[in-house]
Amino acid sequence: MELVRGLHNLRPRHRGCAATIGNFDGVHVGHQAILSRLRAHSERLGLPGCVVIFEPQPREFFAPDAAPPRLTRLREKLTLLQQNGVDRVLCLAFNRRLRELSAEQFVQQVLIDGLGVRHLEVGDDFRFGCDRSGDFAFLQQSGRAHGFTVEAANTVAESGERISSSRLRQVLADGDFILASLLLGRPFSITGRVVYGQQLGRTIGAPTANIQLKRVNPPLHGVYRVSVELDGVVRKGVANIGKRPSVSGDGKAHLEVHLFDFSGDLYGRRLTVVFHQKLRDEKRFDSLDALQAAIKADFAAARAQWGL
Ligand SMILES: Cc1cc2nc3c(=O)[nH]c(=O)nc-3n(C[C@H](O)[C@H](O)[C@H](O)COP(=O)(O)O)c2cc1C
Ligand SMILES: Nc1ncnc2c1ncn2[C@@H]1O[C@H](COP(=O)(O)OP(=O)(O)O)[C@@H](O)[C@H]1O
């Protein structure tokens, strides 16, 4: 899969494709249906299938503090798009210039001049362009004028309700990991690189691999029973995701995971943490002793649930 960052990196060889546009946060089952339609059209046309995404996502640009948590960070999203058979991703920086493009300008600059789109697949509620003025009817009209077809993918529902990124955020906040798996088509996980922490964990009998979240607001908070695949072995463990109010408090969310019956160096490794069950909310403890006791109890609870 090829990643093109910014319109200025598009070359004449990139013209001619089937495309879709959106945030694709989570790459859930609804998104997967659109990607499957995209693949069908790209095969029919004998052209690559291209997904146009935005980074940051529009709401993160408009209101950085009020934006909803991210289900997938850029790298995770790209991996999932690749796994869904996408040939090319055009990642556009959502900034003032992009925000101010009218629907006509967006179609002309991105879809026609940039990508030479021959088929456009969109979700049934897709809106774009300055103040969301472009809609499906507008795209169909542009398609007729510029020689591309447009199709709106059907809504995909689960348990009678539409699948969406915002529904997933709610389901994860509720700790319903079984429903989350149904909506995602895979268990919910967070992937990232293990970085150095304060080296405190090992001194309280709880070494924890700290996974870099890069300031992105995660959709989960609290203590969870988790698993991690490491060198082909599924390791069981417990994770804390939160701001660690009892210790540092740099105000940012951290994800740290302790693996049961494991000792070794994980620094620099890329881990995928799969979440299975919430144990409790994160708390502020007045002493390191109280924190240590709570962590010990979490270990015992998670071990018991895992049958270890
Ligand atoms: C199972 C578990 C539960 C935790 N619960 C809390 C908590 O409720 N409140 C809190 O402030 N920190 C909590 N922490 C985070 C600890 O403060 C942190 O792991 C410890 O300070 C070690 O940090 P370090 O890895 O950077 O050395 C928890 C950690 C683990 C592994
Ligand atoms: N059972 C384990 N679970 C998680 N990490 C472990 C384990 N055993 C050893 N480690 C290693 O110890 C590191 C965590 O130790 P810790 O004292 O918490 O340091 P830090 O604050 O740098 O995360 C991990 O990054 C990993 O390399």
Same CATH topology for 2-154 and 188-306: the answer is: no
Ligand 1 pocket test: pick from 199, 220, 243, 256 the residue with the most ligand atoms within 8 Å of its Cβ: 256
Phi, psi values for residue 151, rounded to 5°: -135, 135
* Residue-wise pLDDT tens digits, 226-255: 999 999 999 999 999 999 888 866 788 999
Per-residue pLDDT, 240: 97
Nearest CA to ligand 1 atom 19: 201
Task: Give domain 188-306's CATH architecture.
Answer: Beta Barrel (2.40)
Question: What distance in angstroms lies between residue 26's CA and the mean position of ligand 1's atoms?
Answer: 27
CATH code linked to domain 2-154? 3.40.50.620
The ligand 1 atom at the shortest distance from the C-alpha of residue 258 is 31
Q: Is the pLDDT of residue 210 over 90?
A: yes
pLDDT at 190: 97
Q: Is the CB of 283 under 6 A from ligand 1?
A: yes
Q: Give the pTM.
A: 0.93
- Ligand 1 atom closest to 244 (CA): 11
User: From the CA of 189, how far away is ligand 1's center (Å)?
Assistant: 19
Q: What is the structure's pLDDT at 241?
A: 97
Which segments of the chain are extended strands (E)? 2-5, 17-21, 49-54, 88-92, 117-123, 149-153, 157-158, 161-162, 189-195, 209-211, 222-230, 233-242, 254-259, 270-280
User: How much is the average pLDDT of 194-212?
Assistant: 89
User: Residue 218 in contact with residue 190, Cβ under 8 Å?
Assistant: yes
The whole-angstrom separation of Cα 77 and Cα 24 is 7
Average of per-residue pLDDT across 252-270? 95
Question: How many angstroms separate the alpha carbon of residue 237 from the centre of ligand 1?
Answer: 14
- pLDDT over 90 (residue 122): yes
Residue extents of the structural domains in the chain: 2-154, 188-306
Phi-psi region of 22 (alpha: psi -120 to 50; beta: other; left: phi over 0): left
Average pLDDT over residues 299-304: 97
Instruction: For residue 247, give the ligand nearest its CA.
Output: 1
* Statement: residue 290 has pLDDT above 80: yes
Closest ligand 1 atom number to CA of residue 210: 25
**In this model, does residue 44 exceed pLDDT 80?**
yes
Please state the atom number of ligand 2 nearest to the C-alpha of residue 264. Answer: 9
Angle between helices 29-45 and 177-184 (to 10 degrees): 10
Tokens coding 205: 């009998």
Q: Give distance in angstroms: CA of 245 to centre of ligand 1.
A: 9
Per the structure block, which two tokens stand in for 273? 């943490």
Active-site residue, 256 included? yes
Q: Which residue has the higher pLDDT, 128 or 60?
A: 60
Is residue 171 within 8 Å of residue 180, measured between CB atoms?
yes
CB of 205 closer than 6 angstroms to any ligand 1 atom: no
